[in-house]
Amino acid sequence: MALGPVMLGVEGLALTAEERELLNHPLVGGVILFARNYQSPEQVAALTDAIHALRQPRLLIAVDHEGGRVQRFREGFTRLPAVRRLGEIHDQDPMRAKQLARVTGWLMAAELRAVGIDFSFAPVLDLDHGVSGIIGDRAFHHDPEIVADLAHAYVSGMQKAGMEAVGKHFPGHGGIAADSHLELPVDPRPYADLATADLLAFERMIHYGLAALMPAHVLYPQVDSRPAGFSARWLKEILRQNLEFHGVVFSDDLDMASAQEAGSPPERARAALMAGCDVALACNDRRAAVAILDHLGLKPDPVSQVRLIRLHGRGRSNLKRLHYHPVWQRAVRLVQDYDASPLLDMDI
């Protein structure tokens, strides 16, 4: 059975009979997990095993696990700092910051792979323009070249642990204050301004071989009349043709308030996929997810299949075995040390 173009959320700590049936639907290609799905490493490993056992090729399993405010699994996992901390260290010692970014990316991915997660929706490639509360310290820095350098190191660490990366939120969510979970943000900047700032980090990471991207539910009216995640101009023309991106494009969550301008749940999913997304996310509304599966009216795209297979995680350990490994122990010490230590004032 092919991997379909819809990624769903599940409700609890174990699959219900209804969820097993839903996940066997041919339009489903993956599952995204949240804090509601996590109790312990052992429990979530059993959940991922159950999901992966349903089909071949196995469904993709994802989670938002950036660190800082956005880390779905807490107890039993290493506390990861917000990546802003790496940007602050870069201002004083770029080489150390890149080394720590690589270690942090490896640690995040290694722990998730040990419980069966295929990939995290990370890293954030947005710039911190100092105006977006929803981005804020989730961004590495305000300088796109520094964001790209740190993200490149972070992703290389993830890949060493057997995980590909998903950069977000293309073409940049950091320039407006509005929260796309609650309303549709509107960024009035012209394309030329975006191209010399926010887009640069994405362009650099595409050049480095980034496997997947997630567009923002943000409207850039000087570029197109549709938000980026529903815009063929952004996804097919700018991203695919101009920037030559060949990886997977995930929609952001179609349950968010900023996505509702695209219509009913099936209309939103169809609009995202027709605009150029490979996968539509329906995370938190079961009735909406069922409606999408019942009324989407699209078949899996063979080109998307090739892209999606690349996102299956490589290798599998378990957390107990990982915790005995000296590489993991050293990584935890390094991450905890830079998270806790004060920055030095280099002007003194």
- 347 catalytic, yes or no? no
Residues in the chain: 348
Say how far apart CA 78 and CA 84 lie, in whole Å: 17
Q: Supply the angle between the helices 326-340 and 84-92 in degrees, to the nearest 10.
A: 80
Selected catalytic residue, list 64, 252, 255, 278: 252
Residue 215's alpha-carbon distances to 44, 239, 340, in angstroms, are: 28, 10, 33
Q: What is the secondary structure of 107-136 as a DSSP string?
A: HHHHHHHTTT--EES--B-----S--TTTG
Residue 53: Cβ-neighbour burial (10 angstroms; 0-12, 13-18, 19+): exposed
Say how far apart CA 292 and CA 179 lie, in whole Å: 25
Do residues 108 and 73 make contact, with C-beta atoms less than 8 angstroms apart?
no
Do residues 247 and 210 make contact, with C-beta atoms less than 8 angstroms apart?
yes
Say how far apart CA 128 and CA 118 lie, in whole Å: 28
- 345 catalytic, yes or no? no
Selected catalytic residue, list 181, 246, 323, 339: 181
Three-class SS state of 185: coil
Q: Which residues are catalytic?
A: 181, 252
